[in-house]
Structure 1
């Protein structure tokens, strides 16, 4: 069986509250539903979007928080992620934007059908908690990305 391969670009958000905790979603893959992992809000670009526009749109859809694109500022981290989801192998170029809020009550009412089915929870994580956890976190170097962006203890 040949695996479909897909290249895409994405905009992601490091949503950080006043306690220096970052919002992560917990999800799984339809091909491995018992394997859970944590990841930042964000997703692929729609036609004609920049990564900042996608990050702002996805942040609103996934959390209910509306942030104007011009308030995102420059990307604080860029990387290429290789991953599989639902039998498709992705090569995803992604930019991360830092958004700070005093606090936020996450509203997942904007989730699409795939998100409603495969995103199971969300939580706010501190840098020390991320350092100590045995859970799968994406990106794998999230602690370094956050501390490089001035989040949490160095």
Structure 2
């Protein structure tokens, strides 16, 4: 039986309309890229988790605004747990951003090996796995919301 995994994910978009992605290199699968974010802690709201994750992974301590999208997806975590994730997306637009993690977990310190800002064209032509797979559609469907 799959475990439930509520998660908050952030679409961090810069002034050049590029989205931030992190590269992970797990032992059990090819390298992959995903948006900032992660599991919601017990008792935490999705919005609070988005803000916490943005600080932990990017170094920005700001309100991520309203939820802009939701998806449910089955996958296997880096710990080998089969989950059904209820992912809530938050879009934050910034002029520029220095990525400087505030508090990575031990697992992230081991597996997170870099970041990159992706244009829509980069996403469409990239040769490694990007999550979510419908990232361009998700970006197109969400309205820019500048961080305060």
Structural mapping, 1:70-81, within 5 Å: 72-81=64-73
Q: 1:102 aligns with which of 75, 95, 98?
A: 95
Determine the structure 1 residue equivalent to 2:141. 148
- The answer to whether structure 1 residue 117 and structure 2 residue 117 are counterparts is no
User: For residues 5 and 103 of structure 1, what CA distance do their matches in structure 2 show?
Assistant: 39
Structural mapping, 1:1-154, within 5 Å: 5-32=2-29, 35-68=30-63, 72-85=64-77, 86-150=79-143
User: For residues 81 and 106 of structure 1, what CA distance do their matches in structure 2 show?
Assistant: 27
User: For residues 64 and 109 of structure 1, what CA distance do their matches in structure 2 show?
Assistant: 5
TM-score by length of 1: 0.87
TM-score by length of 2: 0.90
User: For residues 150 and 66 of structure 1, what CA distance do their matches in structure 2 show?
Assistant: 21
User: For residues 40 and 97 of structure 1, what CA distance do their matches in structure 2 show?
Assistant: 11
Q: Which runs of 5+ in 2 are unaligned?
A: none
Q: Which runs of 5+ in 1 are unaligned?
A: none
TM-aligned CA distance change 1:74 to 1:109, over 3 Å: closer
Given that 2:21 and 2:35 are in contact with CA atoms closer than 8 Å, whether structure 1 keeps it comes out as yes
User: For residues 101 and 67 of structure 2, what CA distance do their matches in structure 1 show?
Assistant: 24
Aligned residues: 143
Which has the larger strand fraction?
A: 1
Q: Which runs of 4+ in 1 moved over 6 A?
A: none
Q: Alpha-carbon deviation of 1:73? A: 2.6
User: For residues 127 and 136 of structure 2, what CA distance do their matches in structure 1 show?
Assistant: 13
Q: Alpha-carbon deviation of 1:147? A: 1.0
Given that 2:57 and 2:101 are in contact with CA atoms closer than 8 Å, whether structure 1 keeps it comes out as yes
